[in-house]
Amino acid sequence: MFRQQTISIPEKLRAFVRHVWLLEPGASSEPSTGNLLSIYADGCPGMIFQHSENGLLLNQKKALSPVFLYGQTVAPIDMHSAGRLGMIVVSFHPYALHSLFRVSAKELTDDCLDISLLSAVQGRLLRELLWNTETAPGRMRVLFEFLEQVVEKNKAVVDGGMVHATCSLLQSNGKMPLPALQRILNLSPRTFERRFEQYIGISPKLFSRISQFQAALKHLQSGKFEKLSDIAYTYGYADQSHFIRNFSRFTGLSPLRWQKHAGGDAEEFPGIARSI
C-alpha cells in the first residue's frame, strides 16, 4: 500500500500547480506483489514521475515513461506495476497545461505524453536528473526548478477567463449556467467552447459534469447519507438512476460497488491506490 504525503508548492508555481503528492511504498518486510492505481476524472491534468521495479503499464497495455504529462481523464484508467512503485504526482490547475507547455490540452485528453518528446522544454534532461537523484526531497527540488524554468522560458501566464470559468464550475459543483459564464466573459458560445477545449481539453458541458461527479464522489466517500437518492438530489441529478449512470461512466463501477471496494483509499488524490 502507498504512503501519501502532500508537498508544499513554491509561490512562483501556485498559479499553475494545484497539488503535489509524494507516493511511496509503505514499509513492509515482504516484497510487494504489485500495485494498482485507478484514476478517475477530476478536471485536472498533471505530470507524473514514476520509478518502479518492473515498469508501469497503462490499462495493462502501454508501458509508461518515467516522466510523462497526462491530460484530462474522462474514461477511468488503471496504472499497474508488478513490483514496488514510487511516484511524484504534480496535479495542475485545469487551465495550466496549455499555458505551461504550449500544447493544445484537447490533444492530451484521455492520453499521456513522454516529457522527453517535448522540444519546447528540456524533458530528456529532467528525466536524467530525476533518475540520478536518490532522495525524495532532492527529486522535488529538481521538479520544481524544472517547472519554474518552463514558466520563465515560455513566459507562461494563466488565462483569466479560463480561471474564472473553471473555478466557477468547480465551486458550484457544476451548477453554474454556461450562458451566464459566456455573458460574464463576453464570449460567444462557439468562442467560449473553442477556448475552453484549447486550454482545458474538454467541453464546458463535460467539465460541468465532472465537477458535479467529483462533489458527489466526495459525499459518497464521507458516508454521511442514508440513501443514494440523497446524494443524487443534492448535486442536481434528475434521480438516483441518473446519478448511477453518470458515476459508472467516470469510474466503471456503481456507487455502492465503488464505496465497498475503493472508497476508503480515495481522499485528495484523484485515484485509488491499493495493493494487489
pLDDT digits (tens, 9 = 90+) for 148-165: 999 999 999 999 999 999
The overall average pLDDT reported for the chain is: 88
State residue 37's pLDDT score.
82
Q: Report whether pLDDT(34) > 90.
A: no
Q: Which CATH architecture fits 2-153?
A: Sandwich (2.60)
pLDDT band at 213 (very low <50, low <70, confident <90, very high): very high
Q: Report whether pLDDT(266) > 70.
A: no
How far apart CA 241 and CA 117 sit, in angstroms, is 43
Q: Report whether pLDDT(33) > 80.
A: no
Q: Report whether pLDDT(80) > 80.
A: yes
State residue 276's pLDDT score.
35
pTM recorded for the entire structure: 0.90
How far apart CA 6 and CA 115 sit, in angstroms, is 23
Where do the structural domains in the chain lie, given as residue ranges? 2-153
**How many C-beta atoms surround the C-beta of residue 60 within 10 A?**
9
State residue 164's pLDDT score.
97
Q: Report whether pLDDT(29) > 50.
A: no
Find, among 210, 185, 206, 201, the residue nearest to 101 by Cα: 201
State residue 84's pLDDT score.
80
